[in-house]
Chains A and B, each alone.
Chain A
Amino acid sequence: MLWSMPFSHLHSLESDVFNMKNRLAISTSVLALVVALACNSQTIEYTSYGDALTLSDTTLVSQILAAPDSYIGERVLITGTIVEVCEMKGCWLEVASDAEFEKIRVKVDDGVIVFPLSARGHTAIVEGVVELLELTEEQAIEQAKHHAEEQGVEFDPSTVTGPQTSYQIRGLGALIAE
């Protein structure tokens, strides 16, 4: 018992140093993890809809709207704030342009992609094909009625004054920021 005391004391000292080193290592690791998580929380998380995006270069919405005919049939990648979403079926959304007072509609096949109404105000990256829509007056009235129904607002016939030509993007895939 007498001789064992110094050894046990030595063991205790070694053990303390070992524990201290361990604690230091653990503390450093935890700190690194917290810093990593904190940094990670700064990154934007996206929810994916439809097909995976294949393009990497974005086209400005203002560029498309400035010369839409030159983009018809072209696959483009756009980005911007979502300013409206189809309330009923989530089958379209509108993305704000980089230029003032401009936006472009992204239409997807009903039920294939469903955009949540809560996406309004979030940033979207959308890939799709630019389309030309040529509507007769009757078709334009029908479409305006349909959109009014979807948004739960009253249809105003004065908004349609004749045949309409518009451009939209047939959406294939999208990423929406959380």
Chain B
Amino acid sequence: MSTKKKFKWRKWNNIIHRDLGYICVGLTVIYAVSGVAVNHVADWNPNYRVQTVETSVPAGLLGDPSSPATIQDILTAIAVNGTPRATFRPDLETLQIFVDDGTTVYVNLETGAVLSEMVRDRRILREANFLHLNHPKKLWTYFADAYAVALALLAVTGVFVLKGKKGITGRGAWLTGAGVVIPVVFLWLYL
């Protein structure tokens, strides 16, 4: 009678799948949310909320655009409370005022028309994108690599979780096949 124990590969497969799943859930949710956000980058800014307000100031206020007093008068007139950080004249008729609260004010020196752009971070989403698009670089690169390997392991071990009709030899084969065919169809359509 043999005492050699049979290696229970499916049991270990399922343990790896389960525990890796727990570890990956947080980052997967972050990457999924960020993925949708950056997918639509053509339609919106996934990192910042840019609020624009159009207004005007009386022509009498537009004296010497390089004078700090004029700049302060313009900001007071349009109710911007921050402190001017810098100014720029892209052309003769335009004055840009950069305010320390993140507001940029564009003043038409001929007409007095003013456009204020307030830039605010999209909280959480900006941080999620920061990680997803690997802006931190450095150590995060290696952690993200490890996460990618873990995802691949999750996928492979997921294939063998069940046996029988609902496993990879039955329904699983069709669904796995569909998952492979779908990107191939899109490649065929767009390439």
Contact = CB atoms under 8 A, between A and B. Distances in A.
Give the secondary structure class of A's interface.
loop
Given A118-B119, A120-B98, A81 B50 contact: no
A87 B92 contact: no
A89 interface: yes
A100 B98 contact: no
A101 B94 CA distance: 10
A118 B121 contact: yes
A93 to B, nearest CB: 13
A122 interface: yes
B45 A152 contact: yes
Using C-beta atoms within 8 Å of the partner chain, give the interface range for chain B.
20 to 34
Interface string A107-129: 00001001011101111000000
B136 to A, nearest CB: 11
Given A87-B48, A152-B50, A122 B91 contact: no
B85 interface: yes
Contacts of A116: 47
A78 to B, nearest CB: 15
A166 to B, nearest CB: 15
A114 B119 contact: no
Interface of A: 81, 83, 87-90, 96, 100-101, 103, 111, 114, 116-118, 120-123, 149, 152
